[in-house]
Amino acid sequence: MTAIRKYREMSRTQRKEWMRELIINNSLYVFLIAAVVVIQFISPNFLSGPSIVNIISLSAANLPIALGIAGAIILTGTDLSAGRIVGLVACVSASLLQASGYPAKMFPNLPTMNFLLVFLIALAIGGIIGLINGFCTAKFNLHPFIVTLSTQLIVYGGLLMYLNIGNNNGQSISGLDPSYTSFITGSFISLGSTPIPNYVWYSLVITAIMWFVWNKTTFGKNMFAVGSNQEAANVSGVNVKRVIVLVFGLAGIMYGITGFIEAARIGSNSAATGLNYELDAIAAAVIGGVSFVGGIGKIRGVILGVVLLRLIFVGLTFLSIDANMQYIIKGLIILVACAIDMRKYLVRK
């Protein structure tokens, strides 16, 4: 109400200015809506049930990794190892959950494992690598860029070695157990006639948990404090090192979840799985207003960023725009989104 009253009291130029600010500050939403309208106009199937489910499920698959990396960015860090961790976890999960009787099984004598047990293994692998990232960052006072640049290589080497054990010979791992694939890609609810894959719900649950972790726990509050001013946090009694280790550990768990979902979603897992995923995840987080300045970021921003990136991918495919253009458009969006975001933090002159 007060907003309306305020608007009434404004002069014409003030209103114009106010509108301009409103549009610029919400330009991502404006862009999102405009893009949807334009694409829908040219390609009417864009907003059909199946297409919407597709955008949602593509976003859902990419959400956990982005949420994980966002934590690292809030600490003014980054994480280059995310994609490779996803790849490693995906390959390990897939290899442990190949259908019994599948001839090209990596471990022929391995009995069918419970996928929930493998899920825990996936979390453990991601979590442990994440903790190592965090430990090296906190203990040796290194920038996460350096630490994760190194672990990324180590993980990739480990992945290549892993693909060569058993009787696999570096082949891609597939032939997954149906209990696993149906747990991830099966569906119990449909939108119209389009089934919504289960991992969308898992992703939603994880996002909700992350929201609580960020906003409602001591750990979350401390994460923002450390990102905002590490020295002050230390003096205020925050265990800075522990916070750093835990943020990266949590991020690792998120990559583990992404890898576990990815393995079943794609169905074929090789050393190339997960390549460059971290770049999309960083881009999504940054578009969503998670700032490299540190201490700034919201869950809903990350969701917006992920959805926006997927929307661009789907939209440009719908419009049959040349793949090369996708790079340019994506680059421009990241640049513009961050520039607009930075405006909020600059002191106006």
Near another protein in 228-287, by CB under 8 A: 228-229, 231-239, 262, 265-273, 275-276
Among 92, 138, 225, 309, binds another protein (CB under 8 A): 225
Size of the site for another protein (CB under 8 A): 77
Angle at 18 between CA 23 and CA 8, to 5 degrees: 130
CB of 234 to another protein, least distance (A): 6
Site pattern 146..185 for another protein (x: CB under 8 A): --------------x--xx----xxxxxxx-----x---x
Contacting residues for 46 by C-beta, under 8 A, at least 6 apart: 36, 39, 40, 314, 315, 318
Q: What single-letter DSSP state applies at residue 271?
A: T
Taking CB under 8 A as the criterion, which residues in 96-115 touch another protein? 102-104
**How far apart are the C-alpha atoms of 126 and 273, rounded to whole Å?**
15
Among 162, 180, 214, 224, binds another protein (CB under 8 A): 224
Of 117 and 169, CB closest to another protein = 169
Taking CB under 8 A as the criterion, which residues in 185-214 touch another protein? 185, 193-195, 197, 212
**How far apart are the C-alpha atoms of 80 and 84, rounded to whole Å?**
8
Binding of residue 329 to another protein (CB under 8 A): no
Taking CB under 8 A as the criterion, which residues in 45-84 touch another protein? 45-46, 48, 50-51, 53-54, 57-58
Q: How many Cα neighbours within 13 Å face the side chain of 102? A: 22
Which pair of structure tokens corresponds to residue 323?
A: 């793949």
CB of 94 to another protein, least distance (A): 11
Angle at 341 between CA 335 and CA 343, to 5 degrees: 110
Q: Which helix H or strand E contains 111, and what residues bound it?
A: none
For residue 231, the tally of other CB atoms under 10 A from its CB is 9
CB of 265 to another protein, least distance (A): 7
